[in-house]
Structures are given as C-alpha cells and as structure tokens.
Amino acid sequence: MNPIRVIVVDDSSFMRKMVKEILESDSRIEVIATARNGEEGLNKIGNLHPDVVTMDLNMPIMDGFTALEILMEKQPLPVVMLASVSEEDKDRTIEAMSKGAVDFIQKPSGSISLNIETIKEIIISKIINASKIRFCTNKNEWNQKNSLKTIHKKKIHAKTVVVIGSSTGGPRALHQFFTDLPSNMNAPIFVVQHMPAGFTKSLANRLNRITTKMEVKEAEDGEIVKNNTAYIAPGGYHLTVKGTSSQLRVKLTSDKPRNNHRPCVDVLFESVAELNVNKIAIILTGMGNDGSHGIKYMKQNDANTTVIAESEETAVVYGMPKSAISTNFVDYIEPISNIGNRVADVLSQCNK
C-alpha cells in the first residue's frame, strides 16, 4: 500500500520539523515537502500533488486562509488546518472549515508549541482520516440525483423540532444548510457538531452571521427553547432537550462520552424521542455511526418522525449518513443543497 503523501505548510521551522517528524514516525505517512508560507505551499502542491496538506493559519506573504481559498477553487484536496488557542484563531479556523478545510489540529500552546509531541497520536489520526476523504464539486450533478418521492407526514403535535448531527466536514455542510433555510420556520433547531470546547461558540457565531432567518447560538443549560432559534451543543457537553411541548428547556450534561464523543448525536436524538412533538432528524457528513441508534429510537417511539440523510455525492465523509441509511429508518437521502428545501417541505406538512 502506498504511503499517504503530505505537504506541511508552516512559517515556523520548528513546527515544520516537528510535524514532519511526528507524521513520518508512522510508516503509513510520507512528508514529501514542507513550505514556509501559503504561496510557496501552493506552488509545491501544484507540482507534487499530495494526498493531504497541513496548513498553518498565520503566515507571512500569504496566510493559510488565503491559500486554502485558492486551493479549494483550483485543486480541491483534504486540508487540515493548524490553529492556536487564541479566540481569533478559533473564529478563523471555523471560517476555514466552512470554506473547505476538512479538519483542524489545535496547537497545545500558542503558535509555536514546544509540546506538540503531546498530541502526536491526534495529528497522525487526523491525517490518516483526511486521506480517505474525496471531494465532489459538481453541484449540477448533486441536484440531479436522489430525487425521492414525497412522503406525506401527518400533523400529530402542535410543535415541531429539528435535530441535526454532523462531524467531519460538518461546518461547511451546516453553512450550506443554514443559508438555504426558509424564513419563519416556526420551529427550533438543535445541532450536535463533533468539535472540542471553545470552537463551538465560534461555529455558532459564524452561522449566526450568515443567516438572517433565525438566531444561531451556543446552547446554555436551562434556557427556554424558542422557535426560529438554533442551539449548537457546546464542546465538552451533551445537549438534551427536556420539558413539554408548551415549554421546552435545554439541558446540558457532562456525562461520560458516548461513541467517543461529547457532545454525542445519539444523546440528543434520544432525548428528543421522548418529547410529544413532531420531529425532523438530519444526519450530515461525518465519520463513524453516531446518530444511527438515535434515529432508530426516535422512529420506534414515533413512526411519524422524519429522517433525512446527506447523500454520498456531497458528504465529505459518508460514514454517518451511510450508517443511518443502513438502519432502513431514513425517509429521504438528499444532497446538501436540497436538505434545506426538504426541511421546508416537511415543515409545511406539519404546519397544515
């Protein structure tokens, strides 16, 4: 089996050396080049055609964000961003993922992390996972596929809630989803995106800036749920929803991780399964099978639940949608560009 060919782009010679040594300590990975800035990185990427690129955010001449935008336009391939712990870097990392970066590595201590060796296994696993990702950029093809029959849902309850699970590639998919949402949904949305503490607030803020149709915020423990509001699970906490249809509340817990995640999609879905509301569950791009047990539980509790999975054509990683589809409880398989419209259709049925 051929090794995963990687180019490391970072303005720090120490970081280039350390990341290269960490990656090449695994026999599955070969660092074929390093670069000092985005401009040099783009030249080497164009000449050497790597499988994966690691890209620092803050560099002279051309920063990582600018290089990422150019790369995604001309030669899309998996890019893993390296980010410091600063609030500015958190915001820019989320923006980079919305623009096409598939994952990020948080440096343990500042822009030059002398202790980066402490996250060796994380770095290696992220590069290996990124190497399995492929891109589909033909949006016309997206819209021509997966045109499924309309499944008419009865209005059973007065209130409807939408729940979403996503992981690798999720920020970009969520950006598309919230851009496409109809105005005046008259329903709340709850989102679990696999992401560490600190970054989920940046994600919520970015999504809030790109949509004028609803408020998007990081969920707070105990707050009363409002329609036309989206609640993003904070990194490090499970998000659940409790109460009655007349007054729902957010409940955050620090219970042990499930499926190796906290927040966990299954935990959110299972809590909503217990509510007397109309339910729309969405599984977007991501690795693994988080959310599959949750949709089974929702359907078993309420057969009228609508389940939507992102199609293989647009999912950056097809693991979570594929696992959901294998349960035979998915009603619609849609490209990301159609999911907002599908939700609007189902909501219109629920609101009749």
Burial annotation 17-50 (CB, 10 A radius, 16+ → b, else e): ebbbebbeebeebebebbbbbbbbbbebbeeeeb
Of 167, 271, 292, 311, the catalytic one is: 167
Strand partners, 189: 162, 230
Phi-psi region of 141 (alpha: psi -120 to 50; beta: other; left: phi over 0): alpha
* Alpha carbons 297 and 155: distance in angstroms, whole number: 20
Q: Tell me the percentage of the chain whose pLDDT exceeds 90.
A: 76
CA angle 329/330/336 to nearest 5° reads 160
Phi, psi (5° rounding) for residue 295? -70, -35
Q: Contact at 8 Å (CB) between 173 and 310?
A: yes
194-226 per-position pLDDT tens digit: 998 889 999 999 999 998 779 999 999 999 999
275-301 per-position pLDDT tens digit: 999 999 999 999 999 999 999 999 999
Q: What is the pLDDT of residue 114?
A: 59
Dihedral through CA 227, CA 185, CA 295, CA 203, nearest 10? -70
**Amino acid at site 276:** N
180 is known as an active-site residue:
no
Average pLDDT over every residue of 330-350: 90
Q: What is the pLDDT of residue 312?
A: 93
Of 175, 194, 261, 293, the catalytic one is: 194
Q: Is the pLDDT of residue 345 over 90?
A: no
Of 11, 63, 103, 290, the catalytic one is: 290
How many Cα atoms within 13 Å fall on the side-chain side of residue 340? 17
Tokens found for residue 29:
């990975």
In this prediction, residue 322 has a pLDDT band, given cuts at 50, 70 and 90, of very high
* Closest of 107, 89, 108, 87 to residue 97, by C-alpha: 89
Q: What is the pLDDT of residue 309?
A: 97
Give the SS3 label for residue 59.
coil
Within 10 Å of residue 132's Cβ, how many Cβ atoms? 16
Q: CB neighbours of 205 closer than 8 A, spacing ≥ 6?
A: 91, 216
For the chain, helix, strand, coil in percent to 5 are 40, 20, 40
Q: Is the pLDDT of residue 41 over 70?
A: yes
167 is known as an active-site residue:
yes
323 is known as an active-site residue:
no
Average pLDDT over every residue of 157-177: 94
Ranking 59-63, 113-117, 337-341 by mean pLDDT, the lowest is: 113-117
* Alpha carbons 345 and 352: distance in angstroms, whole number: 11
Q: What is the pLDDT of residue 184?
A: 75
Within 10 Å of residue 223's Cβ, how many Cβ atoms? 15
Within 10 Å of residue 143's Cβ, how many Cβ atoms? 13
Q: What is the pLDDT of residue 144?
A: 42
Q: Is the pLDDT of residue 86 over 90?
A: no
Q: Tell me the percentage of the chain whose pLDDT exceeds 70.
A: 92
Beta-sheet strands, E only, within the chain:
4-9, 29-35, 52-56, 79-83, 103-106, 160-166, 189-193, 215-218, 229-232, 238-244, 247-253, 278-283, 306-310, 332-334
Tokens found for residue 216:
């998007």
Q: What is the DSSP letter of 117?
A: G
Q: Is the pLDDT of residue 243 over 80?
A: yes
Strand partners, 80: 54, 103
**Amino acid at site 123:** I
